[in-house]
Structure formats: structure tokens, C-alpha cells
Amino acid sequence: MVEQTLRYRNDEPVNDPAVTVATFADQSNATAVRIEPGEDARALLPHLDRLALVEVNFPTYGDGRGYSAARILREHGYAGELRAVGDVLIDQLSHMRRCGFDSFAPEQPIAAEAAEKAFATWPDVYQKTVDGRPAIWAKRHPA
């Protein structure tokens, strides 16, 4: 069981256990799923409306597939909780947030104040992603 979850959402946490991607499609009452690095986030796209929690596992911090998985889900309109679990370290939090994660269950606990500091690392961003922050180019050329 995860010891700590840093959560940046206002709705009630989902307590359903996350099932695997392979079993999710067959369990019509499941609302939480867990994506492993080799699994295709697009397999979940037909079921986004019944999902309340997606966990994306990072077995090691260096395996960056979960960043793409998160962005793909958000780009297709997933609005539920998107939780990074596993080898989630302070120095990756900022990028994860930019890719759409809004909760974090790190193996090694991270202090909430340290996390806030990490999110504030960059005053601006060069890319438009899914976190709603305007890219620097957008600020340079306001519509």
C-alpha cells in the first residue's frame, strides 16, 4: 500500500483498487487502472468516461514512457486523477505535472513544501503541453 500521496485536485480521492490494463476492458465496473511502462495508454481511450483514477507506474525514474502515456490521456480529454507511482523523485515532479499528472505516490516520501518548490522551478515554459500554462511564444505574441 502506498504510504503517501501528494494530491493536487479538489475532488474526493478514489479508493478503488487499480486493475491492470489487460483486465480493465473486461471489468465494466472498474474505475481505476494502472499502466505499466510497456502498455499502450491508447487502449484506455474508449473507456475514459468511466475512469476516475489512472496510475502510471515508474519502476525506475529513467524510464520516461509514462510521460507520453500521461500526455496522451490528457490530450484525449481524460479529466480524472492521473497519479505517478513508483520511483518518483523530487527532480522529476515539475515535468510530470506538465505532462498532466496531478497526484504523486512516490516510493520515497517527498515533503509537500519541497514539492511546491519543485513545481515553481521554472517561471515560464517553452512548450505548450496539457497543463494549461501558456508557452513563452504565446506570451510573446498575445492573440
Partner 1 sequence: MYQYDSYDQSMVDARVAEFRDQVQRRLAGEITEDQFKPLRLKNGLYLQLHAYMLRVAVPYGTLSSRQMRLLGDIADKYDRGYGHFTTRQNIQYNWIKLEDAPDILADLASVEMHAIQTSGNCIRNTTSDQFAGAAADELVDPRPYAELLRQWSTFHPEFDYLPRKFKIAMIGSETDRAAMKLHDIGIQLVKNDAGEIGCKFYVGGGMGRTPMIAPVIGDFVPPLQMISYLEACLRVYNRYGRRDNKYKARIKILVHEIGADEYRRQVEEEFAHILTLGLEPPAAELERIKGFFEQPGFDANASDDLDLSDPDFALWVDQNTHAHKQTGYTIVNISLKPTGGIPGDASADQIRLMADLALEYSFDELRVTHAQNIVLPHVKKSDLYTIWQKLDEAGLANANLDLISDIIACPGLDYCALANARSIPVAQKISERFADLGRQRELGELKLKISGCINACGHHHAGHIGILGVDRKGVENYQLSFGGSEGADTSLGTITGPGFNEDGVVDAVEKATDVYLAQRTEGERFLDTYRRIGMAPFKEAIYAKETANG
Instruction: Please enumerate in sequence order all residues whose Cβ is within 8 A of that of 85, keeping only pairs 6 or more positions apart, or say none.
Output: 2, 34, 55, 56, 57, 58, 104, 105, 106
Asked if 6 contacts 89 with a C-beta cutoff of 8 angstroms, the reply is no
Task: State yes or no: residue 8 binds partner 1 (CB under 8 A).
Answer: no
Task: State yes or no: residue 83 binds partner 1 (CB under 8 A).
Answer: no
Task: State yes or no: residue 128 binds partner 1 (CB under 8 A).
Answer: yes
| DSSP, res 34 | E
Task: State yes or no: residue 107 binds partner 1 (CB under 8 A).
Answer: no
Q: How far is CA 116 from the centre of its chain?
A: 16
> Measured from the CB atom, is 26 or 91 closer to partner 1?
91
Please say whether the dihedral angle defined by the alpha carbons of residues 104, 23, 13 and 77, taken in this order, is positive or negative.
positive
> Measured from the CB atom, is 25 or 63 closer to partner 1?
63
Distance of closest approach, residue 46 Cβ to partner 1, in angstroms: 16
Task: State yes or no: residue 121 binds partner 1 (CB under 8 A).
Answer: yes
Only one of the segments 6-14, 48-56, 77-85, 129-137 lies at the binding site for partner 1 (rule: CB under 8 A); that segment is 129-137
Per CB under 8 A, the list member of 3, 26, 91, 113 interacting with partner 1 is 91
CB environment 14-43: b (16+ within 10 A), e (fewer): eeeebbebeebeeeeebbbbbbbeebebee
Contact positions toward partner 1, by CB under 8 A?
37, 40, 61-65, 67-69, 71, 75, 89, 91-92, 94-96, 98-99, 121-129, 135-137, 139-141
